[in-house]
Structure 1
């Protein structure tokens, strides 16, 4: 198998993730977000456990030595999920997907501030272009291009946008934690403990309006959980066949899936400004990834040349 297998798995993962969000959107806020997260975790852990069984055993797959790291990743990821699901009550699937593209931009900022990572100029330029795209997307919701119009619809849209942005910020925090954990923990352990933590914390909302799901609601909850679990598996498998830097640009295929799913199943079309802004963010992100890959290859080539020259100068 080749890198094309990894790319295919990555694209399937973005489709599965978008279908999960579409199921949440289809609930239209009829059930409390905490209850939705509980079912997503409960159902989602099942395919994950089956997969871990075939990967050498559940116990070996979820064994961890870094409980604090998983707690930090779990808290950030749970907050991100809660805010993301809540935003879908107020804005469209495509808008929520596009605004979440701010997460990698926030990740660069957090990496520079928290981890003290050195960020090159081209990366800062891509971040600036990405945030420009975010502003373009938000202009349609926040009336940035004209006098403010305070209506119930505009207020709801603004709330949804704010929730989606906060979700992206929490996602960035989770990505920083995953970067820290990935060198020490197995992917299965990271996925399992995140799912377990979201399920456990969602139970804290049990007294706040949980109700027994009916008919279509139950199907949507099952779909949400299954797609969530499948997404975790597909993402892990994709990294077996291709480097993360090669797969990263295909994260943006979720915009295409959200447009198609929104049109077919939800009957919605994205606004022009959303597509323009999201495209700018996507191009900025892809440019950053490709630029990083070029620099890594150049550094590797220079290191190889230096070793060759050293070997030539070493006397026999």
Structure 2
């Protein structure tokens, strides 16, 4: 009985996580469409995206209590996420989308290291090797040895670090907080923080771009909820190799909707990432248990 439950957790954690990544990829594509085709400033899109996401999750979190003994942890999580959002938006202004997504692949490295150091999760050889292979795939895609590489690419790296830290805080909060509560706190607090970006960009969105912004908000709402659900049922370090799948998801949608085909090494790197993620899922699903957070 316990073995069956733990095998189910080993499967459902990645399912939630990968589905969240697919929704985030759709949101990124919608944001890119609003910015590239209709010229909506990125800070404006970010504000309305999370405002709409908040409205979308209200029916889900209706009746969820605001009472918590861990408000500082909620604030820390939102603060880290907000910095990550701003660095990501700034990076997209100067870095090609496929390259920015490749750099975000560094996030699992930050999360896995932090999970071992701060959450005391077991870092199995499978997890470490899978994440390392994913990192190698990311380097192949990034190709830092080429002239196209610039120091501005460090902006997405910074976003990866802060989002990774935010994920670690979210994992710690799942010990006492529900997925609904975590989603509610994140979206409610992110909206006013993102609103600071409207000072220079303005809040206006052209009518023809409204559906794209609204779609991005709905997709982000679903992605945030599923992301928390993944951390509820599985270790943070175990989930991180599956984060690499965001690259082919984002690039694939970009190719379909914008006709952008990245360099050939991207496909090599993506193949390494997918194989690493599939391998860790097959290996960990055979384990009798998933090491849990020690308290």
Q: TM-score, normalised on structure 1?
A: 0.74
Q: Number of aligned pairs?
A: 281
In 1, Cα distance between equivalents of 2:12 and 2:127:
28
In 2, Cα distance between equivalents of 1:87 and 1:270:
18
**CA deviation digits over 1:113-150, x for unaligned, max 9?**
445655344444334333322222221xx3x05xxx4x
Match of 2:168 in 1: 176
Mapping 1:220-239, distance limit 5 Å: 220-235=212-227
SS state at 2:262 partner: coil
In 2, Cα distance between equivalents of 1:66 and 1:236:
16
Q: 1:195 and 1:282, CA in 2 relative to 1: closer, same or farther beyond 3 A?
A: same
In 2, Cα distance between equivalents of 1:76 and 1:204:
16
Q: 1:48 and 1:180, CA in 2 relative to 1: closer, same or farther beyond 3 A?
A: same
| Greater displacement, 96-105 / 278-287 | 278-287
In 1, Cα distance between equivalents of 2:262 and 2:282:
28
Tell me if 1:273 matches 2:265: yes
Q: 1:39 and 1:105, CA in 2 relative to 1: closer, same or farther beyond 3 A?
A: same
Is 2:99–2:142's contact at 8 Å kept on the other side of the alignment?
no
Tell me if 1:52 matches 2:44: no
In 2, Cα distance between equivalents of 1:103 and 1:9:
18
Query: CA RMSD of the aligned region, Å?
Result: 3.4
Is 1:7–1:238's contact at 8 Å kept on the other side of the alignment?
yes
Is 2:49–2:220's contact at 8 Å kept on the other side of the alignment?
yes
Is 2:170–2:228's contact at 8 Å kept on the other side of the alignment?
no
In 1, Cα distance between equivalents of 2:118 and 2:16:
32
Is 2:127–2:241's contact at 8 Å kept on the other side of the alignment?
no
SS state at 2:200 partner: coil
Q: 1:129 and 1:120, CA in 2 relative to 1: closer, same or farther beyond 3 A?
A: same
Match of 1:26 in 2: 33
In 1, Cα distance between equivalents of 2:152 and 2:30:
17
Q: TM-score, normalised on structure 2?
A: 0.79
- Determine which of 50, 71, 74 is the counterpart of 2:75: 71
Match of 1:43 in 2: 52
Mapping 1:1-316, distance limit 5 Å: 11-28=18-35, 30-53=39-62, 57=63, 59-60=64-65, 62-115=66-119, 119-139=123-143, 142=144, 144=145, 149=147, 154=148, 158=150, 161-235=153-227, 251-288=243-280, 290-294=282-286, 296-297=288-289
In 1, Cα distance between equivalents of 2:227 and 2:290:
28
| Greater displacement, 84-93 / 284-293 | 284-293
Q: 1:200 and 1:100, CA in 2 relative to 1: closer, same or farther beyond 3 A?
A: same
Is 2:138–2:269's contact at 8 Å kept on the other side of the alignment?
yes
Q: Structure 2: which 5+ residue stretches go unaligned?
A: 1-6
